[in-house]
Structure 1
Amino acid sequence: MRRLTGFRGAGPGAGYRGGLIAICAVLLCCVEVTPAPSQPPSAHAFDRGEPITPIPAAPAADPLKVALGEKLFGDRRVSHDNSRACQSCHDIATNGASQKRHDVGLNGAELALNTLTVFNSTLSFRFGWEGKFRTLEADIEASLQSQHTMGSSAAEVAAKLDADPDMRDRFVAAYGRRPEGADVVDALASFQRTLVTPGSRFDRWLKGDDAALLAGELDGYRLFKSLGCSACHQGVNVGGNLFERHGIFHPLASPEPRILRVPSLRNVATTAPYFHDGSAPTLDDAVRKMALAQLNATLTDQQVKALVAFLNSLTGTYRGAPVGGSP
């Protein structure tokens, strides 16, 4: 999740679950599925045989390029009118996104879709709610060019930065030349690949720390698997590697887009509001609505409490601090 779509709730009875499996099979035949980026599971995760694997450390990268990319991430010159930076909507000091239902575009109008978190985004196999972009670099270029977000281009940004002696020197140090459009994109991508959040209590449990999860959280995880949630939300990013149709039994949120990339549930407790239209204000509300919309099932308060407890255990750390300041 940022945002919860494709989450599986439960229906009573083996017959109902059999019907759900058939529905999932039909859906998966209608969408393109590409394997998520391979991540070597830890020995403990493999021994447990779980469908989720721990987040690995950020990949090795040139520190000069990463530092430059971080500086660019917070630089308003990446937008045509110098009014906004990547950080404006993707706040890495909190949840990697924003607290708004819809962020505002360059023209002052609300953006059509809720902002996804940038944390762990590089662990998913596609980018954006609709998965239009196959690479991080393509996603960055599209964001720079979009008239709704930055209204600029990598070449325009490079030209602005070339007029700044300090930034020019940084590019020369990192790339051996003055700023170029491709280097702007590469620097931003280098930084974004470091935005992974390992160290959640759930990951510690996966690695063999049996005391990392409370009994209620472990119950929630067992329920998460038994209800079928892990059929869509699995792998290192607890989602992010297939597409689904939402609102199978009842409307879930805004009807368009009908097919969405199943979002990651990493740090989901920090990324309210939920869904592609931001219409669910709390995690409790999102879990209940998902069960009804996707399964025609009404979860008990106890089931919801257990699932939310498990989802809270997916909050990782960034630079030594919990994402969003959560416990």
Structure 2
Amino acid sequence: MRLLTGFRGAGPGAGYRGGVIAICAVLLCCVEVTPAPSQSPPPVVLDRGEPITPIPSAPALDPLKVALGEKLFSDRRISHDNSRSCQYCHDVATNGASQKRHDVGLDGSDLALNSLTVFNSTLSFRFSWEGKFRTIEADINASLESPHTMGSSAVEIAAKLDADLDMRGRFMAAYGRRPEGDDVVDALASFQRTLLTPGSRFDRWLQGDDAALSPDERDGYRLFKSLGCSACHQGVNVGGNLFERHGIFHPLASPEPKILRVPSLRNVATTAPYFHDGSAPTLDDAVRKMAMAQLNATLTDQQARSLVAFLGSLTGTYRGAPVGGSP
């Protein structure tokens, strides 16, 4: 769902800079991450010398833990008042986020920042818009304990689940013991590590399928690089590996937080509205505002269309189906 901008930050994969402080369009919610090593073979990639690399297959993890984590992801008992699950803000049946500018907190007030998608989040080097968390486990714990989201704790959740004979059996099968707080977090983390979306048309092009992209999409990608968007949006997650300041040349969205973790552009066509405050309703709007704020550039209609076309080619698949949502 969102967007980012212009100071240099350090992080894995931040070697390609291009020399232009930029960003082109953006994505959603909160996390830092050291990607879990995958036991799957890496995708075949031609040496095209591109700043973006294909998404790998999901890591091979304990299927019992992954299945338990998926069940917990949609279990409302992880919130203190049993009113919401992770799925409330991160709908994996659509875009891994929501389609609201701001999701609503436990107290009924709007959350401060637009929700980030959970798809491919573990490929980024930090979690949350501000990159406050270095591991997926730390991010999960923070979400469980936040009074604005779940208002609970892993220990409280484990006690609830222990009273459920079915859930107790699932934990026994996966962990060899009754539910414990650390196991609740580990199961959720295991599931989220599988939320990768490979197979986008752009990745197929990277892997050698020249027919995967239309001429307009290829033009958009060339423009994406020549403008300098790829200075900040590159690597496997097309972002997510450095911090940037937004509003370099002109104001962009809400002034705070000033420094943000560059969001991933994977599946960006499905994650409207855009920016950390959700203030850009369409991808066309986001692309034009980004160009002006970060590059001091006014895009022509054709340039905007080409960039949007390229960004649409970054939509991957989850469980064999294209990632959904409203462009």
Q: TM-score, normalised by structure 1?
A: 0.89
Q: Which amino acid aligns with 1:44?
A: V
CA shift for structure 1 position 21:
3.6
1:6 maps to 2:2 = no
The answer for unaligned runs of 5 or more in structure 2 is: 8-17, 23-31
- 2:45 is matched with 44
1:279 maps to 2:292 = no
Whether contact under 8 Å (2:20, 2:228) holds in the other structure is: no
Over 3 Å counting, the alpha-carbon distance change for 1:186 and 1:215 in structure 2 is same
Whether contact under 8 Å (1:7, 1:291) holds in the other structure is: no
Structure 1 stretches (4+) deviating beyond 2 angstroms? Answer: 20-24, 34-45
Quick one: distance in 2 between partners of 1:77 and 1:183?
A: 15
Q: TM-score, normalised by structure 2?
A: 0.89
- 2:202 is matched with 202
CA shift for structure 1 position 326:
7.9
- Indicate the structure with greater helix content: 1
Residues 16-165 of structure 1 mapped to structure 2, 5 A cutoff: 21=19, 37=35, 42-45=43-46, 47-165=47-165
Q: Which amino acid aligns with 1:300?
A: T
Q: Which amino acid aligns with 2:253?
A: A
The answer for unaligned runs of 5 or more in structure 1 is: 9-19, 25-33
Whether contact under 8 Å (2:5, 2:248) holds in the other structure is: no
Q: Which amino acid aligns with 1:260?
A: L
Report SS of the residue matched to 2:244: strand
Report SS of the residue matched to 1:274: coil
- 1:310 is matched with 310
Quick one: distance in 2 between partners of 1:35 and 1:98?
A: 21
Report SS of the residue matched to 2:45: helix
Quick one: distance in 2 between partners of 1:123 and 1:22?
A: 24
Q: Could you tell me the percent identity over the aligned residues?
A: 83
Quick one: distance in 2 between partners of 1:291 and 1:117?
A: 23
Report SS of the residue matched to 1:244: strand
Quick one: distance in 2 between partners of 1:145 and 1:325?
A: 28
Whether contact under 8 Å (2:65, 2:190) holds in the other structure is: yes
Whether contact under 8 Å (1:103, 1:110) holds in the other structure is: yes
Q: Which amino acid aligns with 1:92?
A: V
Whether contact under 8 Å (2:34, 2:122) holds in the other structure is: no
CA shift for structure 1 position 243:
0.4
CA-to-aligned-CA distance 1:144-197 (integer Å, 9 cap, x gap) = 000000000000000000000000000000000000000000000000000000
Residues 256-275 of structure 1 mapped to structure 2, 5 A cutoff: 256-275=256-275
